[in-house]
């Protein structure tokens, strides 16, 4: 039996559920050297724990939405947060790097449910400016995760070793499973649920991935996020080597980044109903490109250090957080009867791009601050191209709901 949730508590619960996946990335970054020593693994082998997690996350988020469209939002969230907790225990007890790979893969299978199903819950409950306000509030609270996670991870590492980080993640997963069971109502009525028959499901996925407006919006969100996430992937090198800080120095990266996300989310919430989504996204891109120019100048002309090397990252994350809610909701509006599946496809593209960056892009660029700054600029430019291409298609195509089986 659930208890009714206030607007603020609903936003907090959805944000916590959305943060479980990113938290599983950021919390253990300070422990990379300790994991390598404890398990006799190379830096590349430890980095592969992140790549495996991202690949599993990308593969499974395609199914989270379809499962939520079939069985309901609440049931899927409870099951997968329990799976996440069990996977975290596998990581905590891993006797070798191979077992850690297994645990991270299982975490990835379950870690994306919160953000995928959470977006569908927002659109189940609200539309238009109200949906933008709730999504922005969720992002505002969600933005705390990247700042808190490395600090929690560094603290647990110092007090009890790297395994304590994964024990903490197991408790976090169980707590969220209980909170979802206790407080989150089911937002998808029985009569609105969709079957899981293979052929109709395949046709539905194909129609979503073949829809030009949806794909451009989803790629725009994914590319913009990757401009910031490049620094998350490179955090151990950027913080420890380029900035010359210790394991406690991760706050210098995540602090400004989170502050920027929170400011951008507040602006998005305030602009909902006052500015059009197109105008809001446009202003977000202005901030992102101001950050790109500043980041290139700082990286190319100044000696790396704090705070000058991290402030442009905060400005970029502000613009990204301002643009993302409107772009995501415009995409979900295209498929009103398959919001869960559409949300899955959005997350698949974002996480798949993150995984590709983890495996291929970040290791090439993280050797120098200017390389990372160039990567941020490249992803922002590609994101802008996707947005402008969507505009050229005509916003009408992006707003008309398509009913798919």
3-state secondary structure 81-134: HHHHHHHHHHHHCCCCHHHHHHHHHHHHHHHCHHHHHHHHHHHHHCCHHHHHHH
Per-domain boundaries in the chain: 7-185+196-399
Q: How many Cβ atoms from other residues are within 10 Å of residue 40's Cβ?
A: 9
pLDDT tier, 78 (very low <50, low <70, confident <90, very high otherwise): very high
What pLDDT, on the 0 to 100 scale, is given for residue 169? 94
Q: Which of 116-120, 198-202, 228-232 has the highest mean pLDDT?
A: 228-232
| Res 144 pLDDT > 50 | yes
What pLDDT, on the 0 to 100 scale, is given for residue 397? 45
pLDDT tier, 353 (very low <50, low <70, confident <90, very high otherwise): confident
What pLDDT, on the 0 to 100 scale, is given for residue 2? 58
| Res 35 pLDDT > 80 | yes
Report the phi/psi class of residue 303: left, alpha or beta, with left for phi > 0 and alpha for psi in -120 to 50.
beta
What pLDDT, on the 0 to 100 scale, is given for residue 39? 92
pLDDT tier, 399 (very low <50, low <70, confident <90, very high otherwise): very low
| Res 298 pLDDT > 80 | yes
What pLDDT, on the 0 to 100 scale, is given for residue 202? 84
Residues 6+ apart with CB under 8 A from 358: 47, 50, 51, 54, 233
157, 30 contact by CB (below 8 A): yes
What pLDDT, on the 0 to 100 scale, is given for residue 5? 64
| Res 247 pLDDT > 70 | no
Q: State the Cα–Cα distance between residues 168 and 150, nearest whole angstrom.
A: 13
pLDDT of 369-383, one tens digit each? 999 999 999 999 999
Instruction: Pick one of 1.10.287.370, 1.20.1250.20, 1.20.120.1200, 2.40.128.110 as the CATH number of 7-185+196-399.
Output: 1.20.1250.20
| Res 282 pLDDT > 60 | yes
- Residue 179 phi/psi, 5-degree rounding, is -65, -40
| Res 158 pLDDT > 80 | yes
| Res 269 pLDDT > 70 | yes
pTM, to two decimals: 0.74
pLDDT tier, 350 (very low <50, low <70, confident <90, very high otherwise): confident
Q: State the Cα–Cα distance between residues 399 and 389, nearest whole angstrom.
A: 15
């Amino acid at each position: 039996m659930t208890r009714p949730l206030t607007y603020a508590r609903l936003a907090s619960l959805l944000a916590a559920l959305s943060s479980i996946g990113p938290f599983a990335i950021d919390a253990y970054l300070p422990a990379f050297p300790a994991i390598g020593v404890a398990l006799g693994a190379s830096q590349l082998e430890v980095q592969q724990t992140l790549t495996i997690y991202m690949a599993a996350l990308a593969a499974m988020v395609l199914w989270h939405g379809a499962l939520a469209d079939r069985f309901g939002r609440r049931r899927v969230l409870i099951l997968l947060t329990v799976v996440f907790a069990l996977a975290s225990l596998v990581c905590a007890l891993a006797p070798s790097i191979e077992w850690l790979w297994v645990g991270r893969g299982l975490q990835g299978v379950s870690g994306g449910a919160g953000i995928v199903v959470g977006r569908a819950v927002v659109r189940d409950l609200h539309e238009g400016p109200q949906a933008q306000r709730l999504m922005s509030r969720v992002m505002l609270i969600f933005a705390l995760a990247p700042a808190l996670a490395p600090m929690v991870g560094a603290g647990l590492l110092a007090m009890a070793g790297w395994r304590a980080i994964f024990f903490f993640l197991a408790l976090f997963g169980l707590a969220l499973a209980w909170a979802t069971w206790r407080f989150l109502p089911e937002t998808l009525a029985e009569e609105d649920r969709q079957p899981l028959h293979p052929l109709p499901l395949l046709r539905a996925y194909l129609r979503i991935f073949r829809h030009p407006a949806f794909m451009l919006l989803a790629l725009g969100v994914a590319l913009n996020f990757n401009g910031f996430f490049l620094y998350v992937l490179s955090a151990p090198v950027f913080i420890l080597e380029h900035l010359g800080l210790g394991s406690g120095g991760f706050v210098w990266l995540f602090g400004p980044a989170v502050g920027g996300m929170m400011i951008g989310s507040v602006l998005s919430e305030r602009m909902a109903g006052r500015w059009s989504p197109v105008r809001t996204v446009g202003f977000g891109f202005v901030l992102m490109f101001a950050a790109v120019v500043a980041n290139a100048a700082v990286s190319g002309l100044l000696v790396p250090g704090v705070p000058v090397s991290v402030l442009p990252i905060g400005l970029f994350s502000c613009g990204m957080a301002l643009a993302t809610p409107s772009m995501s909701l415009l995409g979900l509006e295209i498929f009103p009867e398959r919001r869960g599946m559409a949300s899955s496809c959005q997350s698949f593209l974002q996480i798949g791009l993150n995984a590709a960056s983890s495996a291929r892009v970040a290791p090439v660029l993280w050797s120098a601050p200017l390389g990372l700054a160039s990567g941020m600029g490249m992803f922002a430019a590609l994101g802008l191209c996707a947005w402008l291409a969507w505009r050229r298609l005509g916003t009408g195509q992006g707003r008309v709901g398509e009913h798919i089986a």
